[in-house]
Chain A
Amino acid sequence: MLRSVGYLTVCSFSSPAPQRDTMFPKGTKRKFSDSGEEPVSSGDQVPAAPSVATRSLTSSYSLQRQSLLDMSLIKLQLCHMLVEPNLCRSVLIANTVRQIQEEMTQDGTWQIMTQALAAAQCPTDRLVATEVLCRQTDAAAQAGQSPKPFSVGGLEEGYHAEEVVMEGDVETEVTMSTLAPVSPQLSSASYLAGPFVMGPCWDEDEEEEEEEEEEEDGECEEDEEDDSEDCVSEGEEADRDHLSPDSRTGEQVFGTFEIKHPAPPPDPALEELFSDVDPSYYDLDTVLTGMQSAPKMGPYDLLESLSSHGPTALSSSSSCRSDLNELDHIMEIIVGS
């Protein structure tokens, strides 16, 4: 028989605050958008996978599967926004995505989905990522609270709000040519690749604009730096028409978990990034008077975000040209660090 000897509170405050969302409140069923058929009895049970023959017939199953896929992709995209980056969690989610993808490929539904998305509007693709990544709070909490499946259609409400910004950014494609997120060919490179790959780059553009007005938020910057580096490397691969998400996300997702030691090898991605920059940037006047024209928006913001981390981020790369250091200096003056 166990007796309590006592408890020792580490601090003076007691009851734990909710750290994560609790389960759905009693009686709330998970809402799956369409299937008027069975309201899944236990609420949120994913049934054991039926045989291949019956799988495609059960629309509720495929809806649940799709919802799970959407949820997993968003989790993967946002794992760099977690308080504690967790490689194990990311690997498990990626494996789940892979598993769903394999099953859908067997079903033939994978092909259908990618073709449908190829025909979809490009801005909508970007929207998925934007809407998702612009959420300020813990994405997992959001996911837990929202019973709606994360589908492209469900994000229409955010469309208009984002419209203005996006149009302005369309022109930035010129500079970020290696990324080319808007090109129709790329949008066919799978729905999965859309939010995965394009998202972070996209989000980074918008966040930077906001950031110029607001105070620097350390967490925001982290995302940007990661995103900018990841973006460029992703962009390079964008030409290869990979359909599997993990081929690209692997580096993007898993690469952020390394605790890098000082003096890494020079990043070829950085070189590529800077090679597109107009030399007039090094002119203080140009910089101080603001943007030359919209096309230069992208790299300018990228540089700002990179340099605001301190000169070490750039100067450690021995392949950076000396005029980049000059630019650093200019940036420091502007940023006032």
Chain B
Amino acid sequence: MGEDTESPKINHTFLRDYVTEADVISTVEFNHTGDLLATGDKGGRVVIFQRETESKGELEEVGETGDSGEYNVYSTFQSHEPDFDYLKSLEIEEKINKIRWLPQQNAAHFLLSTNDKTIKLWKVSERDKRPEGYNLKDEGGRLKDNSTITSLQVPVLKPTDLMVEVRPRRVFSNGHTYHVNSISVNSDGETYLSADDLRINMWHLGITDRSFNIVDIKPANMEDLTEVITAAEFHPHHCHLFVYSSSKGTLRLCDMRASALCDRHAKLFEEPEDPGSRSFFSEIISSVSDVKFSHSGRYLLTRDYLTAKVWDLNMDKGPVETYQVHEYLRSKLCSLYENDCIFDKFECVWNSSDSVIMTGAYNSFFRMFDRETGRGVTLEAWRESSKPRAVLRTRRVYNGGKRRRGDVGVDSLDFTKKILHMAWHPSENIIAIAATNNLYIFQDRINPETQLQ
């Protein structure tokens, strides 16, 4: 090739380390069947993946059952554009904060996507046929000369290449003054809620110019503001119940039958503070970053900075289970406060049978906890260890005690590699993990189907 074999290799590390900020994934969500997986990124784009279906014959030979866990790109579209608030001279980010799918009612799929300010309803439909043989138009769409038409024909549908069309069907704007952090579709299939830092609104999917304000915690004087809403979700079965979490670590269950404005909670879930471990960071680390109802509707899963907690709806005195995600960070809180990592918002998810919970951590690690045994495992979403079909090995963070090979020291953790967003397939053991601009999909081949209790 004419290259000097002795010349030093070109250093491509600067290329490898460069990541377009816009490609950072900011939300991941499976649809209700798990066939589609949507991701939103900081650039306002939504990418939808579809699960590949392999023929059963191939798989049975290999000894594995079920569809392959492969997901391929199905559609990509620009959901939100950058906006500018001229009066405050502030940019409104196009970053997609949340995506939620609607339950499927016909051949088309619908999803809601939101940035800081505006929620949009998108229709995703397939077209694989087109009509041919119009009477008045020719193939190019031009009108035919009437005199050339001598007979009538019936247009027929001919198959074409699959086209996926995505169209905005509704735009729900001007509903929020503060930044939208959550959206949640109601089980009634007609309404959904959107929550920002201080208010929660309820919308009808068909009506864009009006919404009901159901929670408002904005104080009369903004100087008195000490608490914000961090997440909100509708109950999976009861259309009148929803929960919202706060930056003070409280959960409020609200019943919309009680009153139009649900400022007064039906139930308040709060864990009493442990006076022994109080520090200046106690409040910050108690702030709930995500809340999820279990599929059964009986439990709540919350994530604060150091732990994941499971709450029983029938008991508001405290969580029924507490899982330490990265307790080794407790002594580093001051540094984490300094570099702002203490404000990172991790998500948490249930598996389909509510027997396992999962949440993210640093250094591309994520944690899974088995609720029956109480044991947790640390896994890594990192390309070097994720060749296709490779078995994921468990990792460990070393923080004193006996050190094993492969353990990572606490001071070696990379705090720029955070696993914030993730999703679990609704019925199978397939998980999607977002790591910056990469999407990892893992499948449990040994137990692909979740055993229902």
Q: Do A and B come from one complex?
A: yes
Chain A residues in the interface with B (C-beta under 8 A): 1-11, 13-27, 30, 42-49, 64-65, 68, 71, 75, 84-89, 91-92, 94-96, 98-100, 140-141, 143-144, 221-222, 225-226, 246-251, 254-262, 264, 309-310, 312-313, 316
B416 within 8 A of A: yes
13 pairs, CB–CB < 8 Å, chain A vs chain B: A4-B391, A6-B441, A10-B439, A18-B416, A30-B334, A44-B334, A84-B95, A95-B226, A95-B283, A100-B280, A143-B338, A246-B223, A264-B87
Most buried by B among A5, A48, A85, A89: A5
Pick the contact of B391: A1, A68, A258, A316 (CB < 8 A): A1
User: How distant is the Cα of A75 from the Cα of B340 in the complex, in angstroms?
Assistant: 9
**How far is A100 from B282 in the complex, measured between Cα atoms in Å?**
12
| Cβ distance A225 to chain B, nearest Cβ, rounded Å | 5
**Residue numbers in B under 8 Å from A259 (CB-CB):** 85, 88, 90, 92, 116-117, 176-179
Residues of B within 8 A of A43 (CB): 331-332, 335
Q: How many Å lie between the Cα of A4 and that of B446 in the bound state?
A: 12
Q: Is there an interface contact between A15 and B47, defined as CB atoms closer than 8 Å?
A: no
Closest approach, in angstroms, between the C-beta of A256 and any C-beta of chain B?
7
A250 to B440, CA, bound (A): 42
Q: Are A2 and B392 in contact (CB under 8 A)?
A: yes
Least Cβ–Cβ distance between A262 and chain B, in angstroms: 7
Q: How far is the CB of A141 from chain B (nearest CB, A)?
A: 8
Q: Which residues of B contact A25 (CB under 8 A)?
A: 411
B250, CB-defined interface residue at 8 Å = no
- Chain B residues at the A interface, C-beta cutoff of 8 Å: 15-20, 23-25, 39, 41, 47, 49, 68-71, 73, 85-90, 92-93, 95, 116-117, 174, 176-179, 197-198, 221-228, 230, 247, 276-281, 283-284, 287, 331-341, 343, 379, 381, 383, 385-392, 409, 411-417, 429-431, 435-446
Q: Is the CB of A88 within 8 A of B225?
A: no
A10 to B27, CA, bound (A): 13
Contact A3 B334 (CB under 8 A): no
A99 to B39, CA, bound (A): 39
- Given A2-B444, A42-B331: A258 and B178 within 8 A (CB)? yes
User: Residue A87 contacts which of B17, B178, B221, B445 (CB distance < 8 angstroms)?
Assistant: B178
Q: Is the CB of A23 within 8 A of B440?
A: no
- Given contact pairs A88-B228, A226-B89, A250-B223, A11 touches B442 in the complex (Cβ within 8 A): no
Q: How far is the CA of A68 from the CA of B279 in the complex (A)?
A: 12
Residues of A within 8 A of B416 (CB): 16-20, 22
CB atoms of A87 and B228 under 8 A apart: yes
Q: Which residues of B contact A46 (CB under 8 A)?
A: 279-281, 333-334
With A5-B443, A250-B224, A313-B87 as known contacts, state yes or no: A71 contacts B338, CB within 8 Å: yes
With A and B bound together, what is the CA distance between A11 and B223 in angstroms?
43
Please indicate the chain A residues that have their CB under 8 angstroms from the CB of B176 in the complex.
259
Chain B proximity of A193: nearest CB distance (Å): 13
- CB distance B335 to A87 under 8 Å? no
Assess the B335–A15 pair: CB atoms within 8 A: no
Give CA–CA (A253, B224) in the complex, Å. Answer: 12
Residues of B within 8 A of A2 (CB): 379, 391-392, 429, 431, 442-444
Given A8-B438, A48-B277, is A3 in contact with B390 using a C-beta cutoff of 8 Å?
Answer: yes
Q: Inside 8 A of B431's CB, which chain A residues have their CB?
A: 2
Interface centre among B85, B280, B439 (most CB of A within 10 A): B280
Nearest CB of A to B195, in Å: 12
Chain A residues within an 8 Å CB radius of B277: 48
**Extra A-B contacts (15), CB below 8 Å, given A4-B388, A16-B24:** A3-B445, A4-B442, A8-B441, A10-B47, A17-B19, A20-B339, A47-B279, A49-B278, A91-B227, A140-B340, A144-B340, A226-B89, A259-B116, A309-B89, A313-B89
- Closest A residue to B16 using CB positions: A15
A143 CA / B385 CA spacing, docked (Å): 34
Given A88-B230, A259-B176, A316-B87, A48-B276 contact (CB < 8 Å):
yes
List B contacts of A3 (CB < 8 A): 389-392, 442-445
Residues of B within 8 A of A250 (CB): 221-225
Does A48 lie within 8 Å of B226, measured CB to CB? no
Residues from chain B with a CB closer than 8 A to the CB of A19 are 416
Q: Which residue in A10, A99, A100, A316 is a CB contact (below 8 Å) of B23? A: A10
A313 to B87, CA, bound (A): 6
A127 to B444, CA, bound (A): 59
Q: Which residues of A contact B413 (CB under 8 A)?
A: 23
The answer for the CA separation of A18 and B17 in the assembled complex, in Å, is 8
Asked if A254 contacts B340 (CB within 8 A), the reply is no
Question: What is the CB-to-nearest-CB distance from B78 to chain A, in angstroms, rounded to a whole number?
Answer: 14
With a CB–CB cut-off of 8 A, which chain A residues contact B226? 91, 94-95, 98
Given contacts A1-B446, A14-B383, A16-B417, contact A26 B412 (CB under 8 A): yes
B343 adjacent to A89 (CB under 8 Å): yes
B86: min CB distance to chain A, Å: 6
A247 near B223 with CB under 8 A, answer: yes
A5 touches B86 (CB 8 A): no
Q: How far is the CB of B439 from chain A (nearest CB, A)?
A: 5
Question: Smallest CB–CB gap between B415 and chain A, Å?
Answer: 5
CB within 8 Å for A71 and B337 given contacts A11-B23, A42-B331: yes
Shortest CB distance A16–B (Å): 4
B372 CB to closest chain A CB, in angstroms? 18
B49 lies within 8 A of A8 (CB): yes
Q: Which residues of A contact B117 (CB under 8 A)?
A: 259
Complex CA distance for A246 and B219, rounded to whole angstroms: 14
Q: Which 6 A-B pairs have the closest CB atoms?
A: A250-B223, A16-B436, A144-B339, A5-B69, A44-B334, A4-B386
B19 touches A7 (CB 8 A): no
Query: If A3-B445, A5-B443, A22-B414 touch, does A15 touch B17 (CB 8 Å cutoff)?
Result: yes
